[in-house]
């Protein structure tokens, strides 16, 4: 099985590569359309800012390549957000695989506690029954680092609440996406990656 990781200017992917290697996978990191299209699975990870990431993708035609892929694709963190239609971050038009908006998280005060943004750390993921969450409980903790999040939509397969409830996972056709970082989420995150690789 060949796994391709999309190469673009969106943060450090080293922890993802280590996680895949622990699963016995040695992925190809590439921005070559032929490599991405020929892979059995494609992972679209990243951290960073939406507008500059989309500019980079469009300049290289990678936005068209990614949206045309037929095999299972997993977006992670900003990879999930860029697969949506629009991001409030720098008012960015994204790829539109998911008909959803990415909205800024706003700090709130709950009782004695101030919920700060960015949202950094562990939080509860509440899931619907789905192959991406096979062999996992309906609620589990995962690790987040983000200031923007996807609104709940029909394609939402998991939610998390922090300042408000947002989509922590999406699925439409061959496209899957998670806002949390499975590669930093311990055993449950490894199971999510394993489940994706087995789709």
For residues 163 and 119, the answer to whether their CB atoms sit within 8 Å is yes
**Maximum CA pair distance of the chain?**
54
Of 49, 89, 155, 183, the catalytic one is 183
Q: What angle do CA 27, 45, 174 make, to 5 degrees?
A: 80
pLDDT tens digits, 37-70: 999 999 999 888 999 999 999 999 999 999 999 9
CA distance 5 to 3: 7
Compute φ and ψ for 195, nearest 5 degrees: -60, -40
Does residue 25 sit in helix, strand or coil? coil
DSSP letter at 151 equals: P
Classify residue 77 as left (phi > 0), alpha (psi -120 to 50) or beta. left
Measured CA angle at 73 (ends 126, 127), to 5 deg: 10
Return the pLDDT at 11. Answer: 74
- Report whether 170 contacts 180 (CB < 8 A): no
How far the first Cα of the chain sits from its last, in Å, is 12
Contact 75, 176 (CB under 8 A): yes
- Please tell me the predicted confidence (pLDDT) of residue 6: 96
73: domain CATH number?
Answer: 3.40.50.880
How confident is the model at residue 110, as a pLDDT? 78
Q: Which domain holds residue 37?
A: 3-197
Q: Count structural domains, the chain.
A: 1
Q: Establish whether 26 is a catalytic residue.
A: no
- Catalytic-labelled residue, pool 119, 146, 171, 181: 181
Place of tokens 């949206």: 67
183 catalytically annotated: yes
Catalytic residue among 49, 77, 89, 94: 77
Per-residue pLDDT of the chain (199 residues; tens, 9 = 90+): 999 999 997 777 899 999 999 999 999 999 999 999 999 999 999 888 999 999 999 999 999 999 999 999 999 999 999 999 999 999 999 999 999 999 999 999 877 788 999 999 999 999 999 999 999 999 999 999 999 999 999 999 999 999 999 999 999 999 999 999 999 999 999 999 999 999 9
pLDDT computed for residue 34 by the predictor: 97
* 84 tagged catalytic: no
């Amino acid at each position: 099985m060949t796994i391709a990781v999309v190469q673009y200017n969106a943060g450090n992917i080293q922890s993802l590569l280590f996680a895949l290697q622990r699963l016995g996978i040695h992925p190809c990191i590439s921005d070559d359309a032929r490599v991405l299209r020929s892979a059995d699975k494609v992972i679209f990870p990243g951290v960073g800012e939406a507008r500059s990431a989309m500019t980079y993708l469009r300049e290289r035609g990678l936005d068209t390549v990614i949206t045309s892929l037929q095999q299972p694709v997993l977006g992670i963190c900003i990879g999930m957000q860029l697969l949506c239609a629009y991001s409030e971050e720098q008012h960015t038009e994204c790829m539109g695989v998911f008909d959803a908006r990415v909205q800024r998280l706003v700090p709130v005060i709950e009782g004695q506690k101030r919920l700060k943004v960015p949202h950094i750390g562990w939080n509860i993921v509440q899931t619907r029954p789905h192959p991406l969450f096979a062999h996992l409980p309906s609620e589990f903790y995962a690790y987040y680092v983000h200031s923007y999040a996807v609104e709940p939509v029909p394609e939402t397969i998991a939610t998390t609440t922090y300042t408000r409830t947002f989509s922590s996972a999406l699925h439409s056709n061959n496209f899957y996406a998670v806002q949390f970082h499975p590669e930093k989420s311990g055993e449950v995150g490894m199971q999510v990656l394993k489940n994706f690789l087995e789709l």
